[in-house]
Amino acid sequence: MIRFLLRRVSLIIPTFIGVTLLSFMLIHLVPGDPIEVRVGERGIEPARLEQLRHEFGYDQPLWKQFIDYEGQLAHGDLGKSVVTRESVWREFITLFPATLELAACAILFAMLVGLPLGVIAAVRRGSAFDYGLMGVSVTGASMPIFWWGLMVILVFSVFLGWTPVSGRISDAFFIEPWSGFMTLDCWFSDDRGACRSAWSHLVLPTIVLGTVPLATIARMTRSSMLEVLGEDYIRTARAKGLKRNRVVVVHALRNALIPIVTVLGLSVSALLGGAILTETIFSWPGIGHWLIESIQRRDYPVLQGGTLLVAILVILVNLGVDLTYGFLNPRIRR
């Protein structure tokens, strides 16, 4: 198992280098000068403009800027925001709990709904429920997040008035943030009104962000379960008189989990990508909203550091998926 882990970890280093190079080059292809964007419409002398460019190193050739950036990363320095002058790492840590809370609720929603639906569709193959689920899942996986988010807001917030439109909690409540997770902070504050407000603000973003993973998980669970249910050991278990639920859940579902784990690992990158649009639509103060604002302000350090940190998260999740493979199926380790 240790050799298996070391092989997987050794692949992270070239991936990390490739991500830093790719993110650096793509970000610098975005038109616009971050210093001019920072200055805005205020008048400034050309000499002062050049001084600011020199201060941030933007007067250097791209290859020199990249070498300096790699040197900063080697010392654990992600740089400072051009606009706020705050450390990129500090801003990321401040905003990341909001994104993590939303992504965790979305993937939990997708798993709790998608797994049972996929199992039931496989057990009742060819029924109206099976065809209906597959049709709904294809529709859910095909809907653009920005359109789906606007439709959900229009129905549940505007027409029905059941949920708030944006934010994490109502302005009527002030909760001292000690963990960064609004639902957790409200729970320990013993303010039931604040808890209801936090959960009501979380419902719609969770549904919108979790719809695509839910559809994918349901379809993959159904496909994997159908393959496993046709195996000889399943027929043997049924022949021994085991209850149907035990055969499906204990024997079939566990062996069908490997491709489902793959989908869960891939869903993390999809969640982080979808969070950018979801957080923008619902004004959710997380990493996605932060990166969108950084693009508009041409804040290179924030874009480079934020993209790199998100990529590291995806790499670590994929590593966890690989290790889970080895745990579920020992043959993979060899």
The predicted structure's pLDDT at residue 83: 78
**Residues 206 and 123 occupy one common structural domain:** yes
Q: Model confidence at 168, in pLDDT bands (50, 70, 90)?
A: confident
Q: Model confidence at 111, in pLDDT bands (50, 70, 90)?
A: confident
Q: Which residue range forms the structural domain that includes residue 64?
A: 2-74
The predicted structure's pLDDT at residue 43: 57
Out of 84-98, 106-120, 231-245, pick the least confident.
231-245
Question: Would the pLDDT of 332 be above 60?
Answer: no
The predicted structure's pLDDT at residue 328: 60
The predicted structure's pLDDT at residue 334: 57
Whether residue 191 is contained in a domain is answered as yes
Find the mean pLDDT for residues 290-309.
82
The DSSP element (H or E) to which 146 belongs, if any, is helix 145-152
Q: How many CB atoms lie within 10 A of CB 163?
A: 18
Phi, psi of 57 (to 5 degrees): 80, 15
Q: Which residues, including other chains, have CB under 8 Å from residue 221's CB and lie 6 or more apart?
A: 114, 115, 117, 118, 119, 121, 122, 256, 260
Specify the pTM. 0.77
Q: Model confidence at 5, in pLDDT bands (50, 70, 90)?
A: low
Whether residue 182 is contained in a domain is answered as yes
Instruction: Give the chain's largest Cα–Cα span.
Output: 86
Determine what percent of the chain is predicted with pLDDT higher than 70: 81
Q: What is the CATH number of the domain that holds 205?
A: 1.10.3720.10
When divided into structural domains, the chain yields a total of 2
Helices (H) and strands (E) in the chain, counts: 17, 0
Whether residue 176 is contained in a domain is answered as yes
**Residues 46 and 116 occupy one common structural domain:** no
Average pLDDT of the chain to the nearest whole number: 77
Q: Model confidence at 63, in pLDDT bands (50, 70, 90)?
A: confident
**Residues 117 and 31 occupy one common structural domain:** no
DSSP string, 175-235: ---SSS-HHHHHHHTT-HHHHHHHHHHHHHHHHHHHHHHHHHHHHHHHHHHHHHHTSHHHH
3-state secondary structure (DSSP) of residue 95: helix
**Residues 67 and 193 occupy one common structural domain:** no
**Residues 59 and 203 occupy one common structural domain:** no
Q: Model confidence at 201, in pLDDT bands (50, 70, 90)?
A: confident
Whether residue 82 is contained in a domain is answered as no
**Residues 189 and 94 occupy one common structural domain:** yes
Find the mean pLDDT for residues 241-260.
69
pLDDT in tens, 301-312: 888 888 888 888
DSSP string, 111-125: HHHHHHHHHHHHHTT
**Residues 67 and 92 occupy one common structural domain:** no
d(CA 251, CA 249): 6
Please say whether the beta carbons of 46 and 264 come within 8 A. no
Q: Model confidence at 296, in pLDDT bands (50, 70, 90)?
A: confident
**Residues 31 and 175 occupy one common structural domain:** no
More confident residue, 111 or 43: 111
Residue count (the chain): 334
**Residues 165 and 49 occupy one common structural domain:** no
Question: Residue 170 — left, alpha, or beta (φ > 0 → left; ψ -120 to 50 → alpha)?
Answer: beta
More confident residue, 28 or 204: 204
Residue type at position 276: I
**Residues 138 and 70 occupy one common structural domain:** no
Q: Can you read off the two tokens belonging to residue 41?
A: 């419409």
Owner of token pair 């996929």: 118
Beta bridge partners of 67: none
The predicted structure's pLDDT at residue 326: 62
Out of 32-41, 48-57, 114-123, 213-222, pick the least confident.
32-41
Whether residue 294 is contained in a domain is answered as yes
Question: Would the pLDDT of 39 be above 70?
Answer: no
